[in-house]
Amino acid sequence: MSNQLYALSGQFETPDEIMHAAEEVNKKYKQYDVNTPYPVHGMDGAMGMGESPIGWVTLVVGTTCMLLMLCFIAWIQLVDYPTTFAGKPDFNLPGYVPILFETTILTGAVTTVLTLLFVVCGLPNNAHPIHDTNYAKRTSDDRFGIYVEAKDPAFNEAEVRQLFEQLGAKDIAPIYIDAEEVAAGKNMSVLKPQFIGFAATVVLVISGAAYFGLNHMVFLPPYNWMSVQPKVVPQKTNTVFKNGVSMQLPVEGTIARGFIPYAKVGAKEGFGQSMANPLDPTAEVFALGEQKYLTMCSACHGNYGQGDSRLNGQYPAPPSLHSKKAVEWADAEIYHVITNGQNIMPSYAKQLTRDERWAIVHYVRALQRSLNPKETDVQ
Amino acid sequence: MSTHTSQYQKKDLPPVVGQVGFGLLGVGLLLALVSFFVDPLRTKFISIMLFMFLAGIGVTSLFMVAIEYLAGAVWSTPLRRIFEMFSSLILFLPIFALPVVFSMQDLYEWTHKTDEILARKAAYLNQPFFMVRLAVIIGLWIVFYKLFTGNSLKQDTTQDQSLTAKNVKLSALFIPVMGLSITALSIDFLMSLEPHWFSTIFGVNFFIGSLTAALAVITIAVVLLNENGYLHPGTVRDHYYSLGFGMIAATVFWMYTAFSQGMLIWYANIPEETPWYLHRWDGDWKVITLAQILVHFIIPFFLLVQRKNKRNPNRMLFASVWILFAHLFDLYWVVMPAYRPQGPIIGWNELGFVLLAAGVIITVFHQQTKRKNLVAVGDPKLQRGLEFRL
């Protein structure tokens, strides 16, 4: 223990005595402190202490962090990842107030505590001259202590001792600075560059690993309102097929179910006598043929096939179906004309199925026969 | 210690207090009558503000009494008689309810119109049940007021500690009763002005706004009385600090409830909830709505946030007057859009009612001080209350 004096201390038995002592000491000295085993109300006033400046730390840090958070939210919502929620504007201030409020409280509170611990109290250095003294032991147990520091400009050991004696202090004792403890405090391992470097490395490695782990290894895309899906999109190159087209053509020669291809598509003449009407002339077939004829054919050919178009000359009327040529035609030729079209008559292959076309052929035959009946029909 | 409970000597308030009170009461009453003949409907709407202002201050003063007993607080014991005196406003509430009760047909849409929503609410919102609720609420408050102050006054002479124990039990009963009744009262008088609208936090918002106003009235009285030596000489600035602390806490909580009500309705954007805010967002009402943030939160907050301001009598007086203004501003914002949706209007009619309210409060308080000690001299907690320091 060195002999450098830190302070002169005195101890009292009751809170009233220590309040009185603090008031008296405060009249002459500024560098002094009081230690009590429990909070004594009114001590701030007795010691002449003003308002603690720590509130300014809370205010400045809280306000700054609130503004930083506002900028952060603005950057996210306006620049980096604009999202619309519930039809509200992109920058939706009332909705951010709870976040800003919580940021202010959190940063203000945490910074206040950290400032108290690391700036005001000087952690991690916890050396203090009153450690391991009788004064510290008693004032944390059953006595109320006061000490005046030697660095006070008005400090004079004899005068302070006399003042303490007048006030009725017990165990008036000097407190010395422990050079060994001070040196140990200055040479703490946590303050060495090796430790600080190690700690910084650990922080960097852990935060870097967390960043890469979360953003690259276990990254989940944020919810994107179904706008991104693993499906084929129009106007985009398909990487699966060689030709880059998603909608592939069927293999050449593919026939759709229930579809019988017609070999004479585009030909000048049909199969003639070599192909018969595949449908039997039943009542159902005639009914179908009549319905389809009236829907598709009658507009130009007339309801009875006489070429008396119902379009009143707006469109060239076709020849009569009762002409000698048409009457003598094989069934397959009429079918060929319906399927391929002729002159300005278009193909009806898209509008009428194969069976419907053959049914129309039956119906046209019936119409022809109604105007040129055989003798057997008249009977 | 230098203070002792026996140091209190009762002194009568100077007659100027009564003169000011009667003067304000007279001028206010005159202006109110003139206003009633010039612009009856507007005056009727303002009378809702007057009633709710006095009712809120009266019952939250009694709430402060109850919370002191229930929490075992000592800082407020030297001031508690002041709380009790302001809570005597409760006794006069039936008088101030009359103008509203007699003009309900003009004020409340639900009394004469109906549609599907109102028809479903009619089981609660009908005139007979309204009267019953009003009578029960004011009746309960008067009963509790009589019991609290009766026990407290008896203690001045008997110094019987069991009276404190009785009031503690009474407080545990009163606080839930007050919570429900002030909510019901605010729904009846304020929320049903626009009967299609509803908000579940409305009652809390009115309660906490009234509490700030009650604390402001109490602070004005305590500071003026104590600085002129009418209270116990042991009452110090640390007691002002605690009142200021209550005011700033209540102000922040008022903003919290007001904002959460507004934000949730704005966010949800449901047609049945938004009209109330739309009426306060159309035209010049928007200015009043936005000014609330400044008037009712930012200015009082920074007036009171520093410890040295809360210990300074003049700054506490200024902050209290400002908070009373802010509470009136808030009531105006709640009530008057129902009267004039196209925009706010402020004139001598409103000023007359402010004078009337001030006159009523000062006169009632002055009458109370004539018969009673200004300090609860028999309270067992008084000594500790006087020794209260930060």
Q: What is the CATH number of the domain that holds A308?
A: 1.10.760.10
Q: Are residues A163 and A295 in the same domain?
A: no
Report the percentage of chain A scoring pLDDT > 90. 33
Does residue A167 sit in the same domain as residue A299? no
Domain with A41, as residue range(s), is 5-187
Report the alpha-carbon distance of residue B208 to residue B210 in Å, rounded: 5
Residues A171, A301 within the same domain = no
Length of chain B: 390
Among B362, B331, B361, B324, CA closest to B346 = B331
pLDDT recorded at residue B2: 56
3-state SS assignment for residue A169: coil
A226 found inside a domain: no
Q: A165, A187, A209 — which closes off a domain?
A: A187
pLDDT the model gives residue B302: 93
Determine which of A34-43, A67-76, A307-316 has the lowest per-residue pLDDT on average: A307-316
pLDDT at A34: 94
CA distance A45 to chain B (A): 8
Confidence tier at A378 by pLDDT (50, 70, 90): low
Query: Which residue from B266, B306, B389 is facing A42, i.e. has the nearest CB?
Result: B389
Is there a single domain that holds both residue A320 and residue A174?
no
Residue A239 lies in a domain: no
Residue that the structure tokens 């040129």 belong to: A372
Q: What is the pLDDT of residue A1?
A: 46
pLDDT at A377 exceeding the cut of 70: no
Do A154 and A286 belong together in one domain? no
Are A164 and A66 contained in the same domain?
yes
Judge if A81 and A175 occupy the same domain: yes
pLDDT for residue A272: 75
Inform me whether the C-beta atom of residue B266 falls under 8 Å from chain A C-beta atoms. Answer: yes
- Residue A355 to chain B, least CA–CA distance (Å): 60
Examine residue A59 and state whether it is found in any structural domain, yes or no. Answer: yes
Give dist(CA A145, CA A35) in Å, integer: 5
In a domain, residue A308? The reply is: yes
Q: Which of A170-184, A264-278, A343-357, B116-130 has the highest mean pLDDT?
A: B116-130
Spatial distance between the Cα atoms of A57 and A262, rounded to a whole number of angstroms: 92
> Where does the pLDDT of residue B1 fall: very low under 50, low under 70, confident under 90, or very high at 90 and above?
very low
Residues of A in contact with B308 (CB under 8 A): 50-51
How confident is the prediction for chain A on average, in pLDDT? 87
A16–B1 CB contact, under 8 Å = yes
pLDDT for A127: 83
Asked, for residue A346, whether it belongs to a domain, the answer is: yes
Q: Of A156, A187, A218, which residue is a domain's last? A: A187
pLDDT at residue B266 greater than cutoff 60? yes
pLDDT tens-place string over residues B103-132: 999 999 999 988 899 999 999 999 999 999
* A161 and A287 co-located in one domain: no
Q: Is residue A214 part of a domain?
A: no
A318-327, B280-289, B357-366: which has the minimum mean pLDDT?
Answer: A318-327
CB atoms B390 and A42 under 8 Å: yes
- In this prediction, residue A332 carries a pLDDT of 86
- List, for residues A277-304, the tens digit of each pLDDT value: 888 888 888 899 999 998 888 888 888 8
Q: Is the pLDDT of residue B294 over 60?
A: yes
Number of domains in chain A: 2
Interface-testing mutation among B74, B264, B389, with chain A (most A C-beta atoms within 10 A) = B389
In the chain, the amino acid numbered A69 is M
> Cβ of B307 under 8 Å from any chain A Cβ?
yes
Beta bridge partners of A342: A345
CB < 8 Å to B1, chain A? 16
What's the mean pLDDT in B277-291? 92
Q: Is the pLDDT of residue A21 over 50?
A: yes
Distance CA B177, CA B143 (A): 12
Domain boundary among A187, A210, A238: A187
- In this structure, the answer to whether residues A43 and A153 fall within a common structural domain is yes
CA distance A153 to chain B (A): 29
Contact call for residues B218 and B83 (beta carbons, < 8 A): yes
B271 CB within 8 Å of a chain A CB: no
pLDDT value of position A122:
82
Q: Are residues A293 and A178 in the same domain?
A: no
Specify if A352 maps to a domain.
yes
Question: Under a CB-based contact definition with an 8 Å cutoff, are residues B43 and B106 in contact?
Answer: no
Confidence of residue B332 (pLDDT cuts 50, 70, 90): very high
Is residue A144, in this structure, part of any structural domain at all? yes
